[in-house]
Amino acid sequence: MPQLSRRDFLRLAALGLGAATIGGVLEACKSVTTPLARPTSSRPGTAAPATAAAPPPTPASLPPATLIASPTAAASAGYPDLVVVRKGEPDALVRRAIAALGGMERFVPSGASVIVKPNVCVSYRTYEYAATTNPWVVGTLVKMAFEAGASSVKVMDYPYGGSAADAYATSGIAEQVQAAGGEMVVMSDRKYVSTQIPAGKWLKQTDVYDEVLKADVLINVPIGKVHSLATLTLGMKNLMGVVRDRSSMHGNLGQAIADLNTVIRPDLTVVDCVRILTAHGPSGGNLDDVQKLDTVVASTDIVATDSFVATLFGLKPDDLHYVGFGAAMGLGVSDLSKLKVADLTA
């Protein structure tokens, strides 16, 4: 039986099939090496705030999710699970990392619509302050997507400080994206759709940006930085930028982030560690808090990327609650000793 495509999964979700049913279809199709589709409901609306009747479960108590692709599928296909590239300019770092993972053509089919999701935190910080993703990292990903044959590449985020247009310009991201031929999108409040989260343990529904759900390819490109609530904001947390009501997730932030990651499944995560913010995050403001590492970390396994980047801050993967919950739910591998890691120089 052929593998279940992303669009087929969307149709099954729209029909209201539960996680167990879709999981059975996936098993029958033997699609364990295919990333999950990003399901959405066809009904727009405002999600009801998530509530928990009992204390949230610990990561160790959660059964593995049955719908998540095998995190070591890349290695079994001959690619490393995780690539770390150091000592180079941003464009060289990105190109080396993607080449080691099999090239951008592995992720972006000819004619694909692509969304690149950076962290464009606030409108009043330039990239030097490490509050926003490095603009050359983003621009290079846009270029590479077009080189692979993408029909369109849109870049977007939902800044929490200032307007999106100002944040795009101040960060330097707009200039690099436009130079690469991409489009900066100011996310419209009218384009969020109510989205069910069948595998969610705490967050059962939220409003997700429609274009993210419909894109053929999603590339997640956060910056590594500290965060006052989440300890670090990396790949998994960066996806909060595609939902409308982020405040409702703060009641059980770690589990809510993991839940969101069961429906928003990037095809590729590239963590910008050219500069990292080591204190006073997420918005920073003091260059003394910035450490220049000239590094990027890339993988198809978002749990693995976040787990490795945690070590660059002197932390362990288990220090990040959302990583623990994500690993327990089968979203990826947090035990770096179980991964094939390529540690390269640009």
Please, which residues have CB within 8 angstroms of residue 224's CB and are 6 or more apart in sequence? 232, 234, 271, 272, 273, 276, 277, 297, 309, 312, 313
Which of 317, 303, 266, 286 has its CA nearest to residue 118? 266
**In this structure, which amino acid lies at residue 272?**
D
Task: Please return the burial class of 110, using the count of CB atoms within 10 Å of its CB with bins 0-12, 13-18 and 19+.
Answer: exposed
What is the spatial distance between Cα 290 and Cα 281, in angstroms, rounded to a whole number?
A: 10
- Give the chain's end-to-end CA distance (angstroms, integer): 42
Domain boundaries of the chain, sorted by first residue: 62-345
- Tell me which of 1.25.40.10, 3.90.550.10, 3.30.1490.100, 3.40.50.11440 is the CATH number of domain 62-345: 3.40.50.11440
* CA quadruple 102, 103, 109, 110: dihedral sign: negative
Q: How far apart are CA 19 and CA 197, in angstroms?
A: 9
Name the residue with tokens 């000793």.
337
In the prediction, which pLDDT does 74 show? 61
- In tens digits, the chain (346 residues) has pLDDT values of 344 444 444 434 433 444 433 443 333 333 333 333 333 332 223 333 333 333 333 343 333 333 334 445 565 578 999 999 999 999 999 999 999 999 999 999 999 999 999 999 888 999 999 999 999 999 999 999 999 999 999 999 999 888 999 999 999 999 999 999 999 999 999 999 999 999 999 999 999 999 999 999 999 999 999 998 899 999 999 999 999 988 888 888 999 999 999 999 999 999 999 999 999 989 999 999 999 999 999 999 999 999 999 999 999 999 999 999 999 999 999 999 999 999 999 8
Cβ-Cβ contacts under 8 Å for 4 (sequence gap 6 or more): 12, 25, 26, 29, 31, 34, 37
Angle in degrees, 0-180, between the axes of helices 302-312 and 321-328, rounded to the nearest 10: 150
Inter-axis angle of helices 19-28 and 6-14, nearest 10? 150
Q: List all residues 6 or more positions away from 8 whose beta carbon is below 8 Å from its beta carbon.
A: 37
Q: Are strands 217-221 and 192-196 parallel, antiparallel or unpaired?
A: unpaired
| CA distance linking residue 308 with residue 210, whole number of Å | 31
